[in-house]
């Protein structure tokens, strides 16, 4: 029988901490639940912050989901804002806290403690980094400062082209700023494979946003008109305002000082119930690392969904003990909107699988977001990665103007369910012309993956990897409009009658617009004895 804690102390009162507190109250009406929050707000919508800066969320109050008073009224929580935990005494089971209003200190005893302090934005020790014009974005106060500073600036430099950096680029462009984005990697959204991020780069450039890729920041200098960012390449960029979005660091200092086990990058190590190396202390959210369920590796994934669900998991274990369901691990499902485009990932990218030395196979397919004959259909590009040993899905990335979120969610579900490429081929997804396709792009990815496994499709990743005998099977007009260099155009409908024009003794590489017709052509050729290979994903994004 589990003993109910008298006092549950939580520090960090936003995503993970507030979720844990709410769930805890649903288990017990009698437990004393104290939530300490360093900032002035609890349970606010950090994911919405960029959208108030850009005016899309017009009312600031919409981001403040709860207040200490509403949490007391609804959940009988003792919420203390502007109160910071400053030390954990594990032997005494007590936390020393400091009031940020008057500096006074006191000690609060706990039966169970949940650490939910999150992660803070990185601010590397560069010259000039402490300038008031260099901002990071984590909470409502940061948002207010950026919004006020942006009102006085014509231009903004965003350092880091990850999810938050791109959201900020979009939103600051909305309010008329000249935006430059600087990214150390040679691509935006380095969480994605380069070719899947490229369409976003085109969208950003088309909007007049300057992309400085493959270059880092060396320091900042204040100028009479604003600030100048010095880049590693030697270039200087004069701007009115800088936003740093180069990643986060777990706020695990108190846990480290208390002797809790930390992982290699400073995250608190927890088990499946979010329990740390101390049997009375849990950790949830951005501060901790858990096991991911795809390859079973340790992973720290700083996202809102995992933080909320981990908070719930910790509370369940405190009140239900062994009857509580474990946290099944985070797979890393993330998406960003950049103007009328969206792109995202679930699970592993090809780059990360290579880094991990994990064998994989991949295919990229294109499909329509809904029936192509129904108005408004848009192309979705889906890159799928799976294990050649058993066909299990390892990850996917998707991009396009419509329906990207739905496909990523299907893949996330497939990853959670440990589904295979054959399962994807036969997923029965919602279909009527305004919504989907009789063969959804998810099914098509499953078909193509199965074809590769069964030898029906010999894939070539891109035009660069093709040999000299490329046959462009698009209609003549399309091939003439955007020709593939060095390719011979034989439209699919003419192929059977023109086989004599091709050399059977050499590999033939077929290409089309979106990757499907070239597969059909390669099958015709293979069935006539050719060594035919199909260029994946089509020429549309490669020309």
Q: Given the complex with ligand FAD, which of 116 and 532 has the nearer CB atom?
A: 116
According to CB under 6 A, which one of 5, 16, 403, 450 is a site residue for ligand FAD? 16
Q: Given the complex with ligand FAD, which of 294 and 307 has the nearer CB atom?
A: 307
Strand locations in 163-271, DSSP E?
A: 178-183, 210-213, 217-223, 226-231, 236-239, 242-244, 248-250, 268-269
The CB density around residue 100, as the number of other CB atoms within 10 Å, is 15
Sign of CA pseudo-dihedral 471, 473, 477, 481 = negative
Compute, in degrees rounded to 10, the torsion defined by CA atoms 304, 307, 312, 316: 160
According to CB under 6 A, which one of 5, 79, 84, 347 is a site residue for ligand FAD? 84
Buried b (16+ CB within 10 A) or exposed e, 66-78: bebeebeeebebb
Residues numbered 142-171 forming contacts with ligand FAD, rule: CB under 6 A: 164
Give yes or no for a contact between 169 and 209, defined as CB atoms under 8 angstroms apart.
Answer: yes
Give yes or no for a contact between 393 and 445, defined as CB atoms under 8 angstroms apart.
Answer: no
Give yes or no for a contact between 275 and 254, defined as CB atoms under 8 angstroms apart.
Answer: no
Per DSSP, what are the bridge partners of residue 364?
383
According to CB under 6 A, which one of 128, 240, 302, 450 is a site residue for ligand FAD? 302
CA atoms of 199 and 205, how far apart (whole Å): 10
Contact between 118 and ligand FAD (CB under 6 A)? yes
Shortest distance (Å) from residue 35 CB to ligand FAD: 9
Q: Given the complex with ligand FAD, which of 307 and 484 has the nearer CB atom?
A: 307
Contact between 345 and ligand FAD (CB under 6 A)? no
According to CB under 6 A, which one of 46, 362, 381, 443 is a site residue for ligand FAD? 46
The window from 136-144, 200-208, 351-359, 434-442 that contacts ligand FAD (CB under 6 A) reads: 136-144
Q: Given the complex with ligand FAD, which of 46 and 349 has the nearer CB atom?
A: 46
CA atoms of 501 and 497, how far apart (whole Å): 9
CA atoms of 209 and 211, how far apart (whole Å): 6
Shortest distance (Å) from residue 12 CB to ligand FAD: 3
- State residue 101 phi and psi, 5-degree precision: -85, -45
Q: Given the complex with ligand FAD, which of 164 and 521 has the nearer CB atom?
A: 164
Contact between 50 and ligand FAD (CB under 6 A)? yes
Contact between 303 and ligand FAD (CB under 6 A)? yes
The window from 132-140, 291-299, 360-368, 519-527 that contacts ligand FAD (CB under 6 A) reads: 132-140
According to CB under 6 A, which one of 304, 328, 475, 507 is a site residue for ligand FAD? 304
Angle, helices 441-453 vs 516-527, to 10°: value is 30
Query: How many residues in the shown chain lie near ligand FAD by CB under 6 A?
Result: 33
According to CB under 6 A, which one of 10, 15, 114, 448 is a site residue for ligand FAD? 15
- Please identify which residue in the block is written with the tokens 């106060």: 141
Contact between 350 and ligand FAD (CB under 6 A)? no
Edge-to-edge strand ranges of the sheet holding 217-223:
217-223, 226-231, 236-239
Give Dmax (Cα) for the chain.
89
Q: Given the complex with ligand FAD, which of 137 and 457 has the nearer CB atom?
A: 137
The window from 45-53, 323-331, 435-443, 456-464 that contacts ligand FAD (CB under 6 A) reads: 45-53
Contact between 11 and ligand FAD (CB under 6 A)? yes
The window from 12-20, 214-222, 405-413, 520-528 that contacts ligand FAD (CB under 6 A) reads: 12-20
Contact between 39 and ligand FAD (CB under 6 A)? yes
Shortest distance (Å) from residue 125 CB to ligand FAD: 21
According to CB under 6 A, which one of 5, 21, 23, 38 is a site residue for ligand FAD? 38
CA atoms of 505 and 495, how far apart (whole Å): 17
Residues numbered 235-264 forming contacts with ligand FAD, rule: CB under 6 A: 251, 254
**Among 232, 362, 278, 233, which residue's Cα sits nearest to residue 94?**
278
Contact between 305 and ligand FAD (CB under 6 A)? yes
Residues numbered 282-301 forming contacts with ligand FAD, rule: CB under 6 A: 285-287
Q: Given the complex with ligand FAD, which of 45 and 126 has the nearer CB atom?
A: 45
According to CB under 6 A, which one of 68, 117, 344, 347 is a site residue for ligand FAD? 117
According to CB under 6 A, which one of 8, 9, 14, 414 is a site residue for ligand FAD? 14
Q: Given the complex with ligand FAD, which of 300 and 442 has the nearer CB atom?
A: 300
Shortest distance (Å) from residue 260 CB to ligand FAD: 14
Buried b (16+ CB within 10 A) or exposed e, 405-435: ebbbebbbebbbeebbbeebbeeebeeeeee
CA atoms of 213 and 206, how far apart (whole Å): 16
Shortest distance (Å) from residue 457 CB to ligand FAD: 35
Shortest distance (Å) from residue 394 CB to ligand FAD: 21
CA atoms of 292 and 280, how far apart (whole Å): 24
Q: Given the complex with ligand FAD, which of 138 and 488 has the nearer CB atom?
A: 138
Distances (CA, A) of 366 to 190, 323, 439, 445: 22, 45, 12, 8
Shortest distance (Å) from residue 257 CB to ligand FAD: 11
Shortest distance (Å) from residue 142 CB to ligand FAD: 8
Give yes or no for a contact between 211 and 231, defined as CB atoms under 8 angstroms apart.
Answer: no
- Which residues, including other chains, have CB under 8 Å from residue 365's CB and lie 6 or more apart? 381, 382, 384, 441, 444, 445, 448, 515, 516, 536, 537
Contact between 35 and ligand FAD (CB under 6 A)? no
- Please identify which residue in the block is written with the tokens 């490429």: 421
Q: Given the complex with ligand FAD, which of 288 and 448 has the nearer CB atom?
A: 288
Residues in touch with ligand FAD (CB under 6 A): 11-12, 14-17, 36-39, 46-47, 49-50, 84-85, 116-118, 137-139, 164, 251, 254, 285-287, 302-305, 307
């Amino acid at each position: 029988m589990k003993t109910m804690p008298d006092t549950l102390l939580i520090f960090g009162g936003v995503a993970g901490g507030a979720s844990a507190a709410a769930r805890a109250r649903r288990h017990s009406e009698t437990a004393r639940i104290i939530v300490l929050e360093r900032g002035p707000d609890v349970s606010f919508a950090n994911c919405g912050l960029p959208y108030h800066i850009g005016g899309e969320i017009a009312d600031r109050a919409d981001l403040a989901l709860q207040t200490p008073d509403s949490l007391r009224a609804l959940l009988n929580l003792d919420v203390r804002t502007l109160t910071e935990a400053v030390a954990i005494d594990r032997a005494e089971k007590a936390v020393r806290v400091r009031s940020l209003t008057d500096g006074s200190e006191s000690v609060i005893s706990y039966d169970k403690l949940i650490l939910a302090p999150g992660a803070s934005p990185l601010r590397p020790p560069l010259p000039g980094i402490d300038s008031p014009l260099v901002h990071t974005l984590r909470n409502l106060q940061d948002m207010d400062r950026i919004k006020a500073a942006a009102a006085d600036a014509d231009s903004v430099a965003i350092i880091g082209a990850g999810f938050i950096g791109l959201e900020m680029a979009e939103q600051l462009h909305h309010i008329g700023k000249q935006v430059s984005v600087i990214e150390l990697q040679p691509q935006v959204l380095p969480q994605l494979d380069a070719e899947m991020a490229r369409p976003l780069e085109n969208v950003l450039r088309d909007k007049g946003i300057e992309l400085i890729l493959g270059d880092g920041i060396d320091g900042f200098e204040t100028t009479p008109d604003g600030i100048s960012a010095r880049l590693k390449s030697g270039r200087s960029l004069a701007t009115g305002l800088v936003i740093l979005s180069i990643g986060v660091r777990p706020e695990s200092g108190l846990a480290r000082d208390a002797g809790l086990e930390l992982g290699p990058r400073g995250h608190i190590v927890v088990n499946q119930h979010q329990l740390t190396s101390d049997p009375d202390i849990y950790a949830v959210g951005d501060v901790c690392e858990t096991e991911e369920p795809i390859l079973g590796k340790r992973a720290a994934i700083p996202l809102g969904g995992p933080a909320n669900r981990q908070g719930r998991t910790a509370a369940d274990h405190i009140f239900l003990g062994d009857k509580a369901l474990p946290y099944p691990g985070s797979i890393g499902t993330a998406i960003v909107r950049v103007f009328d485009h969206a792109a995202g990932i679930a699970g592993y990218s090809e780059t990360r699988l290579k880094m991990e030395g994990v064998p994989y196979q991949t295919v990229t397919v294109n499909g329509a977001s809904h029936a192509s004959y129904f108005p408004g259909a848009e192309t979705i590009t889906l890159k799928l990665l799976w294990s050649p040993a058993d066909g299990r899905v390892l990850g996917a990335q998707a991009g396009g103007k419509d329906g990207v979120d739905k496909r990523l969610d299907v893949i996330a579900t497939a990853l959670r369910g440990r589904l295979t490429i054959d399962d994807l081929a036969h997923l029965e997804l919602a279909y009527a012309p305004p919504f989907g396709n009789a063969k959804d792009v998810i099914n098509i990815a499953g078909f193509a993956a199965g074809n590769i496994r069964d030898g029906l499709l010999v894939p070539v990743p891109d035009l660069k990897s093709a040999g000299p005998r490329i046959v462009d099977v698009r209609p003549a007009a399309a091939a003439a409009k955007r020709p593939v260099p060095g390719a011979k155009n034989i439209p699919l409908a003419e192929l059977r009658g023109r086989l004599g024009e091709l050399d059977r003794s050499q590999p033939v590489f077929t290409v089309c617009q979106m990757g499907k017709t070239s597969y059909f052509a390669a099958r015709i050729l293979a069935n006539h004895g050719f060594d035919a290979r199909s260029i994946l994903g089509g020429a549309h994004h490669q020309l």
